[in-house]
């Protein structure tokens, strides 16, 4: 039994299996839940329809730096699968089909992934940083105007 993040809800089981339901993610931080459960790993369900489940391991929690913009990326390995590609199983099938021009789903895989898709390619860290910077601006606290 593990922790799960879903939309605006963060759920973790009660050790005695008598839980009060999911926590409101607007009121509980991930750090609080990890401290309460004494866990260093949790599962994150990204897409309910495609069932992309990620296992996340917290290696350390550092104090926030006033000189950094959050969220930030430290490193990335491998390319992400495209949206709506059929989940882990559909993506694996498309990768297999893309490697065989005679495969019955080759054309579909080509349309979904493109002929230059390389799941092991190094992600564009500068692009990811630019997108995170845009999110940081969107999420930044707004100053209130005095009446």
pLDDT digits (tens, 9 = 90+) for 32-48: 888 888 888 887 787 77
**pLDDT tens readout for residues 81-134:** 888 888 999 999 999 999 999 999 999 999 999 888 899 999 999 999 999 999
Measuring CA to CA, which residue among 40, 49, 42 is closest to residue 5?
42
In the chain, what are the domain boundaries? 1-61
Q: 0.75 exceeded by the pTM?
A: no
pLDDT score of 1: 44
């Amino acid at each position: 039994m593990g922790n799960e993040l879903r939309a605006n809800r963060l759920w973790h089981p009660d050790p005695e299996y008598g839980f009060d339901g999911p926590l409101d993610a607007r009121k509980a931080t991930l750090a609080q839940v990890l401290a309460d459960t004494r866990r260093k790993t949790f599962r994150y369900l990204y897409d309910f329809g495609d069932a992309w489940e990620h296992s996340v391991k917290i290696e350390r929690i550092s104090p926030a730096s006033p000189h950094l913009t959050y969220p930030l990326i430290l490193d990335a390995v491998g390319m992400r699968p495209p949206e709506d590609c059929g989940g882990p199983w559909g993506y694996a099938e498309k990768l297999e089909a893309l490697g065989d021009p005679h495969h019955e789903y080759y054309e579909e895989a080509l349309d979904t992934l493109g002929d230059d898709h390389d799941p092991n390619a190094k992600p564009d860290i500068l692009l990811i940083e630019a997108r995170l910077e845009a999110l940081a601006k969107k999420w930044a606290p707004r100053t209130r105007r005095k009446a």
